[in-house]
Amino acid sequence: MPIAETKIVSARFDDPEAKNIDAYEKSGGYRAARKAVRMDPAEIAEQVKASNLRGRGGAGFPTGIKWGFVPKDADTVYLVVNADESEPGTFKDRHILYWDPHLLIEGMICASRALRVRNAYIYMRGEMMREYKVVQAALDQAYAKGYLGKRIFGSDMDLDITIYRGAGAYICGEETALLSSLEGGRGWPRLKPPFPAVKGLFGKPTVVNNVETIANCGFIVEHGGKAFAEFGTERSGGTRLLSVCGHVEKPGVYEVTMQTTGREVIEEVCGGMRGGRKVKGVIPGGVSMPVLLPDELDVPFEFDALQRDERIREVEVHPGQKFDLGGGRTLRTMAGSGGVVVMDETTDMTKALWRILHFFHDESCGQCTPCREGTGWLVAVAKRIAFGDGRPGDVELLADIANGIAGNTICALGDAAAWPTLAFLTKYRDEFVAKIPRAARAVTGAAAALETSP
Amino acid sequence: MTALKLSDEIEQKIAELWPRFPEDKVRKVLCLPVLYMASQQFGRVDEEVIRLVAERLELPPAHVRGVATFYTMIETGEVGEFHLQICTNIGCMLEGAYDVLGRCKKRLGIEKNHGTSADGKITVSEVECLAACGYGPVAQIAQKGKPDIPLYFEKLDEKRIDAIVDALLEGRVPVELGV
C-alpha cells in the first residue's frame, strides 16, 4: 500500500475540529506529552534514536544523532522548529500547521523534555499568516490548560513556546541562516562547524528540526521507537509526507509509506497523469533535487534509495564526466523535502530550468561570490536558451558555471542551484541543444572544428 | 528625533516578545518583527522609519537598514494601497501562472513583472514560491495599514483573477475568493 495505513502526522487533516484542544485530546492528543514530562530525558532521546526518525526538512539526517551532539552538561539548550517551508514544490508543513497545530506543540513538548529545553521557538515563514493565527490560538489554549508555561501538566518541567515570524527569505530555511534571522539580523548562513547543536542560537546549543520531524515525536514517545521504526525501511523509520504538484489528476499532500515508488505516487496516490498524458520528468524532493526521467520512477521515494539506487542515472557535468559530490561520490538524486513536481510531455524543460534558476538567483543571500554571481549567470544563460536566443557553447557554459558553484559556498543554496542545472542538462541535453537557433548551432560546429584542428 | 510614532500594536508585540528572549539579545531580536509591522503601519520602510526603529530598539541604523533591505515582505519601495503578489514558480508556472500574471498586467496597464497601476492604487508583483504548489496558480494580497490579511488566492484562472482585479479596483480585498 503506498498510502500509509497508520497515519502518524496526517490523521487529523481536513478535520476542522482538530485545532480545538478538547477535540484534539478526545482523539488521543497530549497523552504522549503527559507521559514525556515524567520520563527521564535520556530515555526519550534513546527512543528517538531507536525510531530511525530522519529529518524531514531536506537533508534526512538522523534526528536522534543530531540531538546527541548537544553537550550533556549544557546549561541552556534551545529547540527551534523550522517552519520556514519555502522550497518550490513543498507545501506539507503548512498542512500540519493549519490542520493539526497541537500535534506540533505536543511533539515540541516531548523534544524539549528530551533536550532539557526551557525556551522553544517556532520560526514560521512570514507569508503564512493563516497558519500563524491557527498555531498562536493553539498555543494560547495550551497555556490556558497548563500544558505550557510553568510546571506543565503538574510536573517539574517549565516550557515556553514562542512564534517568531520570518519576512520573506527562502534562505532562512537553512538552519544557520534561520538562527541569524531569529537573532534579528539578515538571514545569513554561518560556516559549520561549529554546528548549531554545539553553538547555535545566542551562542548556545540549539537543535533545529523541521515541523514534520517534530510532529512525529509524540507518536514515538507514546508507542516507542521500535513501533515507529517498523513502519519504515531498515535505516529510515516511520512514514513520510509528500506534497505533489504539477500535472497529476489529484495534487495534494499525502502520507505514504517509505517503500512507495515514484510511479505509485503518480498512478495510485495522485490518480494518474492529468488528461492521460505521458510523464516527462519528476522532481522528487523540491526543486533543488535532481530531476528523474520516466524510466527512473520505480525507485522508492525515500532517503537511501533515491541516493543510491542504480536505476537512477548519475548526474554529469559534461557527457561522460560524472559530477563529483566531494570525495569522489557521485550524485543521483535525493529525497529532500518531499516536494514532488510532476511534469508531463507538454513541459518545456528549458523553461522549467530557467524558472527554477530565477528562484535561486532571487533568493541568494549574497555572502558567497560563487552563488551571488554564479546564480545570476546561470539564470541569464538559461533564459536566453529557453527563449530562443541561445549562443554557441551555452549548454557547456551553463554546466561549467554550475560546476563552479557547487561545493564552493558556505551553505547549500549554491548546490541547490547547481544540481538541478546539471541534472536537467544530463537528462534533457538534446532539448537544450535543439533550443539554440540553427544558425548559432552551425557556428558551434565550425568553431569546434577550428579549435580542434592543429 | 522623528515625528513618527510606532503603533500600539507594535508596542504590544514588543512587550509580548521581550520576556521570551535573553535580556541582552532581545533588542536585536525585535528588529525584524518591528520592522515588518512598521512596514505595514507606514506602508513602506524609508529612512525615517529606519531611524524610528533604530531609536526605539537602541540599535545602529545601519543594522536596521541591513535587515529592512534583506527581507522581501518589508516594503522599502513605493507600493500602492493594494499589493497583489502572484507566484510564478514551477508549480504555479505549470498551471498557467504567467497567463494569470499577464492578464493582470494587461488589465492594470502595467508593463513589467513588478509595477503599479497609473492611479497608484494597485501594485502587481511576480513573487517566489508561496508554499501552496498543489493549488496553483497562487496569489496573496497585502493592503497598506492592514497587518493581517490571512488569505491566499488559489487555483487562479482568467475568470478568478478578473474577479480579484475587479474587487481591488472597487477598493476592497475580495475575501469571498480566498481559501
Model confidence over A2-20: pLDDT tens digits?
Answer: 888 889 999 999 999 999 9
Fold of B82-177: Glutaredoxin (3.40.30)
Model confidence over B107-144: pLDDT tens digits?
Answer: 999 999 999 999 999 999 999 999 999 999 999 998 88
Q: How far apart are CA B128 and CA B126, in angstroms?
A: 7
Contact A89 B149 (CB under 8 A): no
Burial class (CB in 10 A: 0-12, 13-18, 19+), A138: buried
- Segments of chain B assigned E as strands: 82-87, 114-116, 122-127, 139-143, 152-153
Question: Taking the domain A348-454, which CATH number applies?
Answer: 1.20.1440.230
Q: How far apart are CA A40 and CA A157, in angstroms?
A: 12
CB-CB: which of B70, B134, B140 is closest to A127? B140
Q: Which of A405, A406, A407, A381 is nearest to A395 (CA)?
A: A381
Predicted pLDDT at A441: 66
- Provide, as residue numbers in chain B, all residues whose Cβ is less than 8 Å from the Cβ of A167: 32, 35-36, 71-74
Higher model confidence: residue B64 or residue B150?
B64
**What average pLDDT does range A156-171 have in this prediction?**
97
DSSP percent split of chain B into helix, strand, coil, nearest 5: 45, 15, 40
ipTM, two decimals: 0.95
Domain ranges of chain A: 16-231, 239-346, 348-454
- Provide, as residue numbers in chain B, all residues whose Cβ is less than 8 Å from the Cβ of A94: 131-132
Higher model confidence: residue B116 or residue B148?
B116
Higher model confidence: residue A78 or residue A1?
A78
Predicted pLDDT at A442: 59
Q: What percent of chain A has pLDDT over 70?
A: 97
Model confidence over A345-378: pLDDT tens digits?
Answer: 999 999 999 999 999 999 999 999 999 999 999 9
Chain B closest CA to A366's CA: distance in Å?
Answer: 10
Contact B89 A185 (CB under 8 A): no
DSSP A428: S
Predicted pLDDT at B149: 64
Predicted pLDDT at B1: 55
Name the 3-class secondary structure at B116: strand
Q: What percent of chain A has pLDDT over 90?
A: 94
pLDDT at A452 over 50: no
Chain A closest CA to B99's CA: distance in Å?
Answer: 15
Model confidence over B41-75: pLDDT tens digits?
Answer: 998 999 999 999 999 999 999 999 999 999 999 99
For the domain with range A239-346, which CATH number is right: 3.40.190.10, 3.30.110.30, 3.10.20.600, 3.40.1010.10?
3.10.20.600
What is A16-231's CATH superfamily?
NADH-ubiquinone oxidoreductase 51kDa subunit (3.40.50.11540)
